A and B are shown apart, each in its own frame.
Chain A
Amino acid sequence: MLTRRSMLAGAMASAAAGLWALRQAFARSVGGHKAFIEQAFAMRRRAVSEGDQAYGAVVVKNGRVVGLGPSRVVTNTDATAHAEMEALRDAGRTLGTHDLSGCILYTTSPPCRMCETAAHWGNIERVYTGADIADRGKPGYGC
């Protein structure tokens, strides 16, 4: 039997479901990606301001940035510290695992073979690159 209370509860539940669907749709949209690629470009600016190579990357899981990667090749004197590598390492520290399944990598430039294969080893789900947010798909092993 429909009471005012049950109708109100139903309305609230459908409103919540609607908001959730909207949030999911936003996360999938260019708008959702845009916020994260902008964070990658913020990392690029940080790298440049610290005198490093002009690359930045972030790792995102469930709509939350879990890994930050300004390039640190120069500042850390580490030939392997490309932005993507640093973002993957940071994500591993944040999540407490080497398995970054379900994570997305956003990076300011198409990744080199080292970084693409690193993303593959990290089980990264998808890679987006550049200001046009190009979808590079699931990272491959090598070429």
Chain B
Amino acid sequence: MADSIKQPAAASPAAFMQRALDLAAATERAGRGNAYGAVIVRSGKIIGEGANTIYADNDPTAHGEVEAIKDACRRIGSNDLSGAVIYTNGGAPCPMCATACHWANLDRIYHALRADDITDGGVPAYGKC
């Protein structure tokens, strides 16, 4: 990931979700991973972003949500992302990613297939499935 995160022109749920969708399309196009991307948002700003890179990194844990959480943790220098939420494309996150959101203390999960139709996935729970 680049050193600074490019923020959307207008901070809105649709803009954040669009960024997740763009990350998903880019990683799939590059053959780096499956078409999943995610961004972590706090106080109207993207503080971390990631995409599925299971092929590029030879890493079975490198789902979009996990990579976004790692990126946000690295950037803010803390493993506690309290007060932040995650926007991720696709259906509800898998149990690995949902539980990673729980461990990172994320406030809420939003997921979507389209930027203008976002589902509120609620508070990340431990092993919710």
Contact = CB atoms under 8 A, between A and B. Distances in A.
Top 3 closest pairs, chain A to chain B, by CB: A142-B95, A113-B127, A122-B60
A101 to B, nearest CB: 11
B79 A92 contact: no
A76 B79 CA distance: 8
Given A74-B79, A114-B103, 7 more contacts: A77-B77, A80-B70, A98-B54, A113-B98, A113-B99, A141-B95, A141-B129
A117 interface: yes
Contacts of B104: 79-80
6 contacts: A74-B79, A81-B79, A98-B55, A98-B60, A99-B60, A114-B96
Interface residues of B, number: 33
A88 interface: yes
Contact of B58 (A98, A113, A114): A98
Q: At the interface, is chain B mostly helix, strand, loop or mixed?
A: loop
B59 A98 contact: yes
A75 B73 CA distance: 11
B93 to A, nearest CB: 10
Interface in B52-96: 54-55, 57-63, 66, 69-70, 73-74, 77-81, 94-96
B79 A79 contact: yes
Contacts of A82: 103
A80 B59 contact: no
Interface residues of A, number: 34
A68 interface: no
B41 interface: no
B95 A143 contact: yes
B61 A80 contact: yes
Nearest to B60: A122
A118 B93 CA distance: 13
Contacts of A79: 69, 73, 79-81, 100, 103-105
Contacts of A42: none
Interface string A116-136: 111011110000000000000
A46 to B, nearest CB: 18
Contact of A73 (B63, B79, B99): B79
A112 B25 CA distance: 30
Among B66, B79, B127, find the residue whose CB has the most chain A CB atoms closer than 10 A: B79
A125 to B, nearest CB: 13
